[in-house]
Structure 1
Amino acid sequence: MTTIDVNSLLSQMRRMTAVTELPSAKIDTVGKTAAPSDFGALLKQSLGSVADLQKTAGVQAAAFERGDKGVDLAQVMLSVQKADLGLSTVTQVRNKMVDAYKDIMNMSF
């Protein structure tokens, strides 16, 4: 049975959120992004951010393939790598959550 470090999981999700620059995050009076009130909101926000990254990468890649002016290959590659990193992070978080669920379900009372 594996042991899940909740603090490590949460810190990974916070880093993922910070890296993906959430455009929909609320800004408080100090100028820092306000943390979502619960885990579900954080997860939903993270998934939305990853979806936005993938959409942006797809649009930029298609524009580059069409030969549109002003589309830089380096920027396209950076967008694709950000989307890939976001997807792999979300996949790892999902796997950890499934493992935690299995561990909880296998507990005996």
Structure 2
Amino acid sequence: MTDAISSILSQIRAHEMRARGAGDVPAGTAIGPSGTAPGAIGNSAGTSGFQQTLSGAIDKVNQTQVNAAQLQQAFELGDPRADLARVMVAMQQSQVAFRATVEVRNRLVQAYQDVMNMPI
């Protein structure tokens, strides 16, 4: 699980570097399935911030879950384009993305609590 968290944190850092224009970032740093563009996370208006980055990541996780559910439903209805292997891979991607998001949330809550409990 820590590998997934490290991966997400490195993706967030890479996105911030891209938003600042700090050079090239490897193409494999996008959050989501391997067909998505690395710059797909964030605000299209050019402003960047933690909120936009986090919101974009959550939107990608949601889209992964929706795609998996649609593929599962298509398989259940007998669509020949939705084979079992694709459905299982999509479901696993959705599950891993959700677990990683929950773990990041837990780490953020813990960091917030640590900051709030610091003596002044």
Shift of 1:86: 0.6
How many residue pairs get aligned? The number is: 94
Q: Sequence identity of aligned pairs in percent?
A: 38
TM-score (normalizing by structure 2): 0.67
The Cα offsets for residues 48-67 of structure 1, whole Å up to 9 and x where unpaired, read as: 00000000000000111111
Could you tell me which of 2, 18, 30 is aligned with 2:30? 18
Q: Distance in 1 between matches of 2:30 and 2:86?
A: 20
Shift of 1:70: 1.9
Q: Which has the higher contact order (CA 8 A, sep 6+)?
A: 1
Over the residues paired in the alignment, what is the CA RMSD in angstroms?
2.8
Any runs of at least 4 consecutive aligned residues in structure 1 with deviations exceeding 4 A, and if so which? Answer: 12-17
Contact 1:36-1:42 within 8 A present in 2 as well: no
Structure 2 partner of 1:5 = none
Structure 1 partner of 2:106 = 95
- The runs of 5 or more residues in structure 1 that have no matched partner are 1-7, 27-34
TM-score (normalizing by structure 1): 0.73
Shift of 1:84: 0.6
After superposition, residues 1-109 of structure 1 pair within 5 angstroms as: 10-11=9-10, 13=12, 18-20=30-32, 21=36, 25=40, 37-109=48-120
Q: Distance in 2 between matches of 1:23 and 1:58?
A: 23
Task: Give the aligned residue type for 1:11.
Answer: S
Contact 2:71-2:87 within 8 A present in 1 as well: yes
- The runs of 5 or more residues in structure 2 that have no matched partner are 1-5, 15-27
